[in-house]
Amino acid sequence: MIRFEQVSFRYADTAAPALQGVDIEVPEGELCLVVGPSGVGKSTLLGAVSGLVPHFTGGHLTGRVTVAGRDTRTHRPRELADVVGTVGQDPLSHFVTDTVEDELAYGMESLGVAPETMRRRVEETLDLLGLAELRDRPIATLSGGQQQRVAIGSVLTVHPKVLVLDEPTSALDPGAAEEVLAVLQRLVHDLGTTVLLAEHRLERVVQYADQVVLLPSPGAPPVIGAPADIMAVSPVHPPVVALGRLAGWSPLPLSIRDARRAAGPLRERLADRAPEAPGPDASGELLVRAERLTVRRGRTEALREVDLSVRAGETVALMGRNGAGKSTLLSTLVGLHTPAGGTVTVGGAVPHRTRPADLLRRVGLVPQEPRDLLYADTVAAECTAADRDAAAEPGTCRALVEDLLPGMPDDVHPRDLSEGQRLSLALAIVLAASPPVLLLDEPTRGLDYAAKSRLVGLLRSLAAAGHAIVLATHDVELAADLADRVVILADGDVVADGPTPDVVLSSPAFAPQTAKILAPSPWLTVTQVTRALEAAP
């Protein structure tokens, strides 16, 4: 169904190839997972299937890519639209209409599908993706995760033979991600749809893959094979694989069920040990305080009498379903929303009554869409502007970029960075002002495991230096590794607030892989297990 024959590709004005020597065949009715560190060319590989590379991106492509027998060199994206459906990392760039139902129907209208067929397919897709209650909602009012589901649905209604998905679960809560992956499984197994999928959160998807394509480094030839074989050598792998490697399990498990079956001896080795749990210093200065905070967005009550307090040196993870109010809470803490009730103070200031220039030195927000903070034409120019705006020493932002993105050139344009790289750049820009309170909205979206590890190290050092950190995330592994406390929101209400182990271990939806594998013991991360085994006499 998809065939790459000795394909290489180089973007214009770049010396090194983004892809080189790619020779892949994906049969009909298979789910092929593309993995690799950030910036190795995964999105470029996916774009070559839809024809966006090189027809839209420019650049020089050699070799041959065929989809359902059509050569992408001679068929432009619009000539492949009936066989290839594509959802990119940024759902906002995908939308053409204003409401959910209209967006689901748009692709079929473009292809001249009969009205009665369109209506049936729209209803089927609304039910498949849990969007029925949102059918009349303006897309601009949806959460990032809800927008992601609409983007996927608008592709599914066309019934393409091939689905190309770039980070499809990155903005989804665990439950919504499972629903989307279940839909993909049904498409693959029941309808024979071929799915090509790039994803950094391998803990969600690797067990469903029929084959894995590993891009080990930029321009390096891919390594292709069965999921367990590739995960045994891959530099990027989920916690279940890391735990399997640590314990020496063979065959290497990819699912929680298989890992639990192999974990008996490991549980016995850990039986007389307990994970390290130092916890935050409760004596730190109170930097964030919200009392009975209520926020309305239009006719919707996005937050309802929320109480939240965060002290210096504390890291708090906000979790919950898409649309629960996490992003609204972060936006309110930087003054983007005026409360309808209750009070909020950040760093001693009332956000919505404080001048932005003054607020910048009290609180910084890294939004879900990093492009909102990026406007210069090079990384160096972004860093220079950030230092100037923050009144920081020249080179402050650039040093932070080097910590998060080692080896990043000064002259690269931010739009040429991957989603994860843009997010890291946006984080460096915000950190240049060294705000006492740091807010992050989905900070690991688009990050590979190595980049996530660097981010965790940086945030830990900031917390140790007395910064208060609040992050909204669907990444249960990040929350388990980093957060001192977890606050769970549901429909604008706080339904849980407590130490991370207490909250995540009591919730199957928010428990990390290690906790599920080693339950009922209270282990949350592979790092905890590794330290305990190393400390064994």
Q: Over the stretch 41-72, which tens digit does the pLDDT of each residue have?
A: 898 999 999 999 999 888 999 999 999 999 99
pLDDT above 90 (res 99): yes
Which phi and psi (to 5°) does residue 421 adopt?
Answer: -70, -40
Overall CATH class of domain 286-510 = alpha beta
Total residue count of the chain as it appears in this document: 537
The β-bridge relationship of strands 286-297 and 84-87 is unpaired
Give the mean model confidence (pLDDT) for residues 359-368. 89
Between CA 222 and CA 62 the distance in angstroms is 16
Q: Are 71 and 64 in contact (CB under 8 A)?
A: yes
In angstroms, the Cα distances linking 230 to 38, 214, 257, 261 are 17, 7, 20, 21
pLDDT given at position 168? 86
In angstroms, the Cα distances linking 447 to 113, 143, 273, 405 are 38, 20, 32, 11
Which phi and psi (to 5°) does residue 92 adopt?
Answer: -60, -35
The β-bridge relationship of strands 70-71 and 60-67 is antiparallel
pLDDT given at position 278? 61
**Mean pLDDT across the chain, nearest whole number?**
90
What dotted CATH number matches 2-227? 3.40.50.300
Q: Are 220 and 8 in contact (CB under 8 A)?
A: no
Its sign, for the CA torsion 503, 509, 513, 516, is: positive
Q: Bigger pLDDT: 279 or 384?
A: 384
pLDDT above 60 (res 280): no
- C-alpha radius of gyration, the chain, whole number: 23
Order the strands of the 315-320 sheet from edge to edge: 363-366, 437-441, 468-472, 315-320, 485-490, 493-499
pLDDT above 80 (res 276): no
Which phi and psi (to 5°) does residue 269 adopt?
Answer: -65, -30
pLDDT above 80 (res 456): yes
Confidence tier at 451 by pLDDT (50, 70, 90) = confident
pLDDT given at position 361? 85
DSSP assignment letter at 173: -
In angstroms, the Cα distances linking 393 to 35, 403, 460 are 38, 17, 23
pLDDT given at position 404? 85
Ranges for all domains in the chain classified under CATH 3.40.50.300? 2-227, 286-510
Name the CA dihedral angle for 202, 206, 209, 215, rounded to a multiple of 10 degrees.
50
pLDDT given at position 277? 66
Confidence tier at 537 by pLDDT (50, 70, 90) = low
pLDDT above 80 (res 413): yes
Tokens of 472: 């909204």
Helices (H), 449-536: 449-464, 476-482, 500-505, 513-518, 526-534
Between CA 1 and CA 415 the distance in angstroms is 31
DSSP assignment letter at 317: E
Its sign, for the CA torsion 112, 116, 121, 122, is: positive
Stretch among 211-225, 324-338, 404-418, 463-477 having the lowest mean pLDDT? 404-418
Order the strands of the 60-67 sheet from edge to edge: 19-26, 2-10, 60-67, 70-71
pLDDT above 90 (res 207): yes
Q: Bigger pLDDT: 373 or 28?
A: 28
Cis peptide before 520 (omega within 30 of 0): yes
Order the strands of the 223-225 sheet from edge to edge: 84-87, 162-166, 194-198, 31-35, 211-214, 223-225
Place of tokens 């997010």: 423
Residue 251: what residue type?
A: P
pLDDT given at position 84? 93
pLDDT given at position 15? 79
Between CA 517 and CA 259 the distance in angstroms is 6
Predicted TM-score of the model (pTM): 0.86
How buried is residue 78: exposed, middle or buried, by Cβ count under 10 Å (0-12/13-18/19+)?
exposed
Between CA 41 and CA 221 the distance in angstroms is 11
